[in-house]
Amino acid sequence: MKIILASGSPRRRALLKDLGLAFDVYSPNADETHIPDEAPEALCVRLSRLKAESAAQKFPDAVVIAADTIVVIDGQILGKPANRHDAVRMLTMLQGREHEVLTGVCVISHGKVLSCAERTLVKFRALTNDEITAYSETGECDDKAGAYAVQGKGALLVESISGDYFNVVGLPLCRLGIMLPEAGVNLLA
């Protein structure tokens, strides 16, 4: 059975590879515009589904996996920073506080659509302005929701995690392990 990861994320590719899953990558072009007043959970589920549907149209006989991760603090959605100044702004908001990481996951197989959102709470330690600036200058925050990568130097910012660590990386593996058998893929076999 052909499996398609509908994501250009190297982190998601590495996570699936670590599971021993054979798959191909397709990076769909999905409109990631937020709908006004759309709840964060609904947003990440909708975006993951848009990506999965785009890939499923191109690969109708494959099992398609897609995901979309966002960071939420005080009801505000933090996507990928536009630039270093934006990254500093986000990291300043997160420092010393707890926030949510939400990942919408969608699996499509032969017309069957499975989708959900996984939620993990992350608490940053208190950071100085110099630490925030230094981290933003590593470039690691580029192209990362909330402007940090927990699997890299961003781990130095995190005081605690409650929930699926892999969700914070960008793909909740436990949840995916529950969804894939429903699509005919058993990762434990």
Owner of token pair 């990506």: 51
57: Cβ contacts below 8 Å, ≥ 6 apart? none
> Looking at the annotation, which residues are catalytic?
68
Cβ neighbour number for residue 72 with a 10 Å cutoff? 20
Helix/strand/coil percentages in the chain, nearest 5: 40, 25, 35
Sequence length of the chain is: 189
H helix or E strand, kind and range, residue 162: strand 158-162
H helix or E strand, kind and range, residue 167: helix 165-169
What one-letter code names the amino acid at 32? Answer: E
Residue 76: φ, ψ to 5°: -95, 130
